[in-house]
Amino acid sequence: MSDDKTIEIYGDGETSRDFCFVDNAVQANLLAAVSEVRKAEVINIAVGQSTSLNHLFNYLKEKLCLNQIIYDKTPKYLNFRQGDVRHSLASIEKAKVILGYEPTFDVRRGLTKTVEWYLRKF
């Protein structure tokens, strides 16, 4: 988007995911490292919020605009990808109970840090 290229989105953009900022994953790993639980557990680490691709696209436009980069193109919608899951939302209850995990970054806050980092590097 900062290069003013057209963004491609598979489907209608209403496909959703539980996007998780890397700091949340680091936090969960640190909690697991000092946990007194000593048996192997499979635990979802996520935010616990669903975000559509259209919302993600608009959040990115908003974050770029705050940094004086205006992106005025609409996404190019492609065919749905075969086998793609339409909606995905993780349950983080087990992480809360076992690890005391609470995500510190929602999608918007994570994107703020990501865009700021990206613009500093490139």
pLDDT in tens, 60-109: 999 999 999 999 999 999 999 999 999 999 999 999 999 999 999 999 99
Q: Which two tokens stand for residue 94?
A: 């087990």
Question: Mean pLDDT across the chain, nearest whole number?
Answer: 96
| 3-class state of residue 119 by DSSP | helix
CATH class of 8-121: alpha beta
Query: At residue 22, does pLDDT exceed 90?
Result: yes
pLDDT in tens, 30-40: 999 999 988 88
Q: Which two tokens stand for residue 116?
A: 């700021």
Percent of the chain topping pLDDT 90: 92
What local confidence, expressed as pLDDT, does residue 23 receive? 98
87 DSSP assignment:
B
Q: Which two tokens stand for residue 85?
A: 């899951």
